[in-house]
């Protein structure tokens, strides 16, 4: 962890924090500082702030950045469930338990390792560690992902994500009985200032919108469908916890363990987008994974 700490002096009063830190922290640009602030790595008096915050005398500025270790990506012959593939992209049904791309903790067995073995045609816009990866889902969330084979395709798909025109529908099982049929959660998400490995609904976070619909109710649980309008880290998990209905089995956002599961009960069921090269709308859907189907049957038996 790289740390930087500074107490604001009288001569620095009323300085914008992003400009001040650009001067104080070596080898950083203002854009980098702004991204650190947005991600919650920079706080003032142990509180999250915005890039235009005006510093006051004796403000305590803390900057904590995890050290990024070099990641080696080796092709691995790991079976993939490919739903669709052509020369520009592929759609894969990622299995539960598989990390999408290598990290310092997971350098083997990831989706990217498997993709590197499957094809040498992957876009470079995601960087060395994330070739072809347009969007991600959590390790213990299974379901549909689109992977770009070239930079042009990657750019077009990213633009659809940013324009909120890509369809991403999930199914989940949550604690508690939701009494209304559907709803929308519009609450900004950012890093939890007290638990950096967790995300949370926070003031100054990035805009996040989740639509949900009740599919079935049980005695103590609700089976729902969620559609993402935005795509923040852990968005569905954070939003459902925020409204008091955390996902069953979620190891980060609930301590309830009335049902034994291996990770959160969530999977990416449907994916839709305009194919960049064909200029055609394409939509894909997968069946419930076996573990999820068994969980729902268990719910019906208990009710």
pLDDT at 256: 72
For residues 217-245, one letter each, b for 16 or more C-beta atoms within 10 angstroms of the residue's C-beta and e for the rest, the string is bbeebbbbbbbbebbbbbbbbbbbbbbeb
What number is the average pLDDT over the span 171-178?
96
pLDDT at 31: 83
Q: For residue 257, is pLDDT > 70?
A: no
Mapped onto helix, strand or coil, the DSSP state of residue 31 is helix
What number is the average pLDDT over the span 267-293?
97
Kindly list the catalytic residues. 138
The Cα–Cα gap between 295 and 284 comes to 23
Q: Do 173 and 295 contact (CB within 8 A), yes or no?
A: yes
pLDDT tens by residue, 215-250: 999 999 999 999 999 999 999 999 999 999 999 999
pLDDT at 68: 60
Residue 129: band (very low, low, confident or very high) from pLDDT cuts 50, 70, 90: confident
Domains of the chain in sequence order: 2-65 (3.10.290.10), 82-163 (3.30.2350.10), 169-268+297-302 (3.30.2350.10)
Burial class of residue 15, CB neighbours in 10 A (0-12, 13-18, 19+)? middle
Q: Can you list the alpha helix ranges (DSSP code H) found in 61-147?
A: 111-118
pLDDT at 286: 97
pLDDT tens by residue, 186-206: 999 998 887 767 899 999 888
The Cα–Cα gap between 271 and 282 comes to 8
pLDDT at 1: 53
pLDDT at 8: 95
Write down the pTM of the prediction. 0.77
């Amino acid at each position: 962890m790289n740390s930087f700490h500074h107490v604001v002096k009288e001569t620095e009063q009323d300085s914008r924090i992003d400009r001040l830190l650009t001067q104080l922290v070596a080898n950083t640009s203002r854009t980098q500082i702004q991204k650190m602030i947005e991600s919650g790595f920079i706080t003032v008096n142990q509180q999250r702030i915005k890039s235009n915050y005006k510093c006051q005398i004796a403000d305590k500025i803390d900057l904590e950045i995890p050290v990024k270790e070099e990641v080696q990506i080796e092709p691995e012959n790991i079976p993939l469930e490919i739903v669709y593939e052509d020369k520009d992209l592929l759609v894969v049904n990622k299995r539960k338990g598989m990390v999408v791309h290598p990290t310092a903790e997971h350098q083997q067995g990831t989706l990217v390792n498997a993709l590197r073995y499957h094809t040498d045609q992957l876009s470079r816009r995601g960087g060395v560690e994330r070739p072809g990866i347009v969007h991600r889902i959590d390790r213990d969330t299974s379901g549909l992902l689109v992977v770009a084979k070239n930079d042009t395709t990657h750019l077009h798909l990213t633009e659809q994500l940013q324009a909120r025109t890509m369809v991403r529908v999930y199914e989940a099982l949550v604690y508690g009985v939701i009494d209304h049929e559907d709803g929308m959660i519009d609450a900004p998400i950012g890093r939890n200032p007290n638990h950096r490995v967790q995300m949370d609904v926070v003031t100054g976070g990035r805009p996040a919108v989740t639509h949900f619909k009740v599919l079935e109710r049980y005695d103590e649980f609700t089976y729902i469908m969620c559609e993402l309008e935005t795509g923040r880290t852990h968005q569905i998990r954070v939003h459902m916890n925020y409204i008091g209905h955390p996902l069953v089995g979620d190891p980060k956002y609930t301590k309830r363990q009335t049902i034994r599961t291996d990770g959160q009960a969530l999977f990416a069921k449907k994916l839709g987008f305009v194919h960049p090269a064909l200029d055609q709308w394409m939509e894909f859907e997968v069946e419930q994974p076996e573990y999820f189907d068994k969980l729902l049957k268990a719910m019906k038996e208990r009710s």
